[in-house]
Structure 1
């Protein structure tokens, strides 16, 4: 289904739900802010919401071996968190979702090992279990977040 997703709202909602549904609305919103910040600076990570979300190895929930992938491909609007993600994604696409990550374009789950790219000078904030960073378009290409 990943290759069949052509609607940016669906791509953004599924990515944020897959990455941060356990973090609630605020966590999903923060992931969407990263997607928007990447789309605003087109480069290797994609040129728009759809390509940013679906770029290989950027959001772990889309990785073939990730346990979230089958879930994000099959979730429907009957899931309350996914409905929230769809509402937030629509706001993002219409540019009505303010950035709560201070311009971040990367993040990682603080319950995992800190990635090499997580330079303290680039740190912006922590929301839930995710630490957010602004690395710019020249950050690491394979960073899962």
Structure 2
């Protein structure tokens, strides 16, 4: 699959919006969840196409919701601090380029228990791992 500069930028911005308070390992885990969706094989109308399509698919990653406080920075209306975006870009590039293994065990979903209670989709899903402030799942019904 061809990965564009836009894909890399949108993935990095998504990592900033979803996992900027995490360690590199936590950002990599979130990036792998996105990569697993990109490579899932489901109809592209489900997840979206490519990294940018998956990240910006409505209601998939809350940081891209227009009412999310991160949206102004992600959309470019407000600048993301250089160092924070650079850290997100490192994780994004490592995952896109295949330089780090998937620490999530094939997860396609996650949530942050400190931010929200367990979503309904966790029922019947297989929890794979907890990394930093996120809990990861696969086989989500």
1:98-134 CA-partner distances (Å, limit 9, x unpaired): 2111110000111211111113651001111111000
State the match for 1:117 in structure 2: 121
The runs of at least 4 consecutive aligned structure 1 residues that moved more than 2 Å come to 71-76
Please report the RMSD computed on the Cα atoms of aligned residues, expressed in angstroms. 2.0
State the match for 1:90 in structure 2: 93
> Where in structure 2 are the equivalents of 1:47-86 lying within 5 Å?
47-74=49-76, 75-76=79-80, 79-86=82-89
Preserved CA contact (<8 Å) 2:125 2:139:
no
1:16-50 CA-partner distances (Å, limit 9, x unpaired): 11001011322211110000000111330123212
Structure 1 unmatched ranges of 5 or more = 140-145
SS in 2 for 1:11: helix
Equivalent of 1:101, from 90, 101, 104?
104
| Equivalent residue pairs, number | 132
Structure 2 unmatched ranges of 5 or more = none
Q: TM-score, normalised by structure 2?
A: 0.84
Q: TM-score, normalised by structure 1?
A: 0.82
